[in-house]
A and B are shown apart, each in its own frame.
Chain A
């Protein structure tokens, strides 16, 4: 064998490897062939208090599915901090799970990548039709006018959790306006005792974007105009961000250490230990607090208040959606699995375990036995929630604006005074970065 032919052989082998890597995407299981014996890989998002908590909740349900259909599920619970990146890598490489969860915030961004299977009418019929789903939740499944690339699984809204005992001891009522919230927080703050009025996940990019959205909506500011162009430096946006950052920078009612909390569960820990009297979290906070040893009678729930005279927006329609990866080799099995996860029976079981709101009409909300809490969450979802803009730039909005707010909180925590001009400069920079996306 000559060198040249050897080299040719090697390059042919490499080429062949590359070609197989490219061409593996063909679906074969589009029709309802016999799926028994198939193994699906499922990336579940971290809905519970820990990854183990998720495994405990999901494993018995997945076993049930295997019993019914013979389809095995390989479960991987992925923390939120990795989920977007892992999904992105899967989209780029074409190598990914068969079924996965995504934050509904990112649904439109992921839809724009083309890496997910679009649920056309036929596919929607297979899972029982779109009318089975709660309309506000289904609206997060993708941009309007195109087949959605995800289906809602768990719905959530933000609410204000307050520690009943700390409030009663100080003779306070849950705040009805943002000004009340700040003055209550000031009364409940005693840095010498490491006791603070409220805790925020200051180092968490996605939560920072969530609060930016909620507070800027309260001030009538929108992150995007009707053409989808970013308008981050509008007065409402600046006031909204300032409202959030001021908790730490101006009123000092947040433990500065919270600027380093890169995970919302860290702030849940502070609240559960009674180190913070208030805590803004989504519906699943009930479960997370329970896992942290705080029982439901120890805290109350109220809508996140708006400043006096502001728009009463307390949340956006948050939640988790389920998607099928377009490159799956087991499409019909994957559809069966999605049907199972969105079935009335499973919706009831899973949403109860995760203390989230069911995404289908057939399952009653049962995430807590406490009627007061149930009523408040239902009211927030129906009256005080506004959907996030359904545009593909939403992920970039989260990264750039969320990142900018995290940086502002970091500065406030290390002693810098944050002025309107600082907020504006940070948002302006975030907006200019959007231009290149």
Chain B
């Protein structure tokens, strides 16, 4: 779809615009020079439509019909359900609604924990590396490994380590350190939640580290020097200069981490498969199970739309908050 050919400019011009009766040719309303920026973004817009907007609209439509196994080959025959799917999803006294609500709460808790820990680890590591120059390159590379690994490879390695019988973790806890006698499960039961948080933090924190490190590098050294002369200690420098100057970076970082973590699918799906334990029943896998496993795509779409609306609200609130913060700053 390469449409942006400046060479064609010569061909573009006047004949269409200059009216026959007009004394002198006016400047054409649309020229190549004016059109070029728009033409440049046409492919992007077309693909944006194709990849994001069209599926979203289709998803919205699916959420309004009763799309089950009987109508898979011909969606148009599926009966219109109106808001029926939403009613089922939001009926918190029914099993599907109550499980959705439970999954939502769980995902929220999971997200807050993962974002908080990732951010904390990231900013601590960035602060430490900023102050200690020796070995910085090596450590930085090391810290970024989880981020560079293909997600699937990393998570499947964790899955091996967390096996009950021959996993590395139980080998350490039971056979080497003798901390527990009966090997615990890490991928089913209550421990599954902890496993999920650990693996997710392991995956997310390098991004927080990368962003905060970049943010810190633009803070001029003179500020720290001036503060030191004024008698500010390390903690005060961190608090009043580093964190203060990094507010815009951190705000964006936290939003991104929140959105990514809330809709995390790879980690729970690779760790637990399509039927996760109750303690780790995150929203995206829950929606997947509600649509793909039970073949009820209308309901799954309704749940997805609800998830999207929630994330839009979060992003909107963040936008309001951020505007106030930047105005104050």
Contacts of B152 in A (CB 8 A): none
Residue on B with the closest CB to A407?
B278
B1 adjacent to A432 (CB under 8 Å): no
A259 adjacent to B188 (CB under 8 Å): yes
Q: Using A115-B73, A260-B185, A413-B185 as known contacts, say yes or no to A14 and B50 having CB atoms under 8 A apart.
A: yes
Contacts of B30 in A (CB 8 A): 2-3
Contacts of A115 in B (CB 8 A): 72-73
Indicate which residue in B190, B275, B295 contacts A88 across the interface (CB closer than 8 Å): B295
Per-residue A-contact encoding for B53-71, CB less than 8 Å = 1, 0 else: 0000000000000001110
Contacts of B289 in A (CB 8 A): 403
A114 adjacent to B164 (CB under 8 Å): no
Q: Using A3-B30, A396-B294 as known contacts, say yes or no to A436 and B189 having CB atoms under 8 A apart.
A: no
Q: Using A10-B1, A114-B73, A414-B188 as known contacts, say yes or no to A407 and B293 having CB atoms under 8 A apart.
A: no
Pick from B42, B188, B299 the residue with the most CB of A within 10 Å. B188
- Is A193 an interface residue, CB under 8 A from the partner? no
Contacts of A255 in B (CB 8 A): 165
B295 adjacent to A395 (CB under 8 Å): yes
| A88 CA to B275 CA, complexed, in Å | 18
- Is B273 an interface residue, CB under 8 A from the partner? yes
A88 adjacent to B42 (CB under 8 Å): no
CB distance from B319 to the nearest CB of A (A): 30
| A413 CA to B3 CA, complexed, in Å | 62
A410 adjacent to B188 (CB under 8 Å): yes
- Is A20 an interface residue, CB under 8 A from the partner? no
| A6 CA to B42 CA, complexed, in Å | 9
Contacts of B74 in A (CB 8 A): 114
B42 adjacent to A7 (CB under 8 Å): yes
Main secondary structure of the interface of A (DSSP, over half): helix
Q: Using A6-B39, A436-B88, A436-B299 as known contacts, say yes or no to A113 and B275 having CB atoms under 8 A apart.
A: no
Contacts of A114 in B (CB 8 A): 70, 72-74
Pick from A85, A415, A429, A437 the residue with the most CB of B within 10 Å. A437
| A109 CA to B294 CA, complexed, in Å | 11
- Is B94 an interface residue, CB under 8 A from the partner? yes
Residue on B with the closest CB to A395?
B295
Indicate which residue in A6, A85, A205 contacts B275 across the interface (CB closer than 8 Å): A205
A112 adjacent to B70 (CB under 8 Å): yes
B293 adjacent to A260 (CB under 8 Å): no
CB distance from B13 to the nearest CB of A (A): 12
Per-residue B-contact encoding for A248-280, CB less than 8 Å = 1, 0 else: 000000011101101000000000000000000
- Is A386 an interface residue, CB under 8 A from the partner? no
Per-residue B-contact encoding for A201-238, CB less than 8 Å = 1, 0 else: 00101000000000000000000000000000000000
B38 adjacent to A436 (CB under 8 Å): no
Contacts of B188 in A (CB 8 A): 203, 259-260, 410, 413-414
- Is B82 an interface residue, CB under 8 A from the partner? no
A113 adjacent to B1 (CB under 8 Å): no
Pick from B74, B189, B275, B292 the residue with the most CB of A within 10 Å. B275
A3 adjacent to B294 (CB under 8 Å): no
Q: Using A88-B292, A113-B69, A414-B188 as known contacts, say yes or no to A429 and B95 having CB atoms under 8 A apart.
A: yes
Per-residue A-contact encoding for B11-28, CB less than 8 Å = 1, 0 else: 000000000000000000
Contacts of A410 in B (CB 8 A): 188-189, 277
Indicate which residue in A10, A262, A436 contacts B46 across the interface (CB closer than 8 Å): A10
Contacts of A256 in B (CB 8 A): 164, 185
CB distance from A203 to the nearest CB of B (A): 8
Per-residue A-contact encoding for B70-114, CB less than 8 Å = 1, 0 else: 101110000000000000100000111000000000000000000
| A429 CA to B50 CA, complexed, in Å | 39
A399 adjacent to B296 (CB under 8 Å): no
Contacts of B73 in A (CB 8 A): 91-92, 94, 113-115, 326
- Is B163 an interface residue, CB under 8 A from the partner? yes
| A262 CA to B88 CA, complexed, in Å | 30
- Is A336 an interface residue, CB under 8 A from the partner? no
Contacts of A399 in B (CB 8 A): 293-295
Per-residue B-contact encoding for A73-98, CB less than 8 Å = 1, 0 else: 00000000000010010011010000
Contacts of A262 in B (CB 8 A): 273
12 contacts between A and B (CB under 8 A): A3-B39, A6-B39, A6-B42, A109-B69, A203-B188, A205-B275, A392-B69, A395-B69, A413-B185, A429-B95, A436-B96, A437-B69
Residues of chain B at the chain A interface (Cβ within 8 Å): 1, 3, 30, 35, 38-39, 42, 46, 49-50, 68-70, 72-74, 88, 94-96, 163-165, 185, 187-191, 273-275, 277-278, 289, 292-296, 299
- 19 further A-B pairs in the complex, CB-CB below 8 A; given A14-B50, A407-B277, A415-B189: A6-B3, A6-B39, A10-B1, A88-B72, A91-B73, A113-B72, A114-B70, A203-B273, A255-B165, A260-B164, A260-B188, A262-B273, A395-B295, A403-B289, A407-B275, A407-B278, A410-B188, A413-B189, A436-B299
- The 7 A-B pairs with the shortest beta carbon distances in the complex, nearest first, are A414-B189, A410-B188, A432-B95, A399-B293, A257-B165, A113-B72, A429-B95
Residues of chain A at the chain B interface (Cβ within 8 Å): 2-3, 6-7, 10, 14, 85, 88, 91-92, 94, 109, 112-115, 203, 205, 255-257, 259-260, 262, 326, 392, 395-396, 399-400, 403, 406-407, 410-411, 413-415, 429, 432-433, 436-437
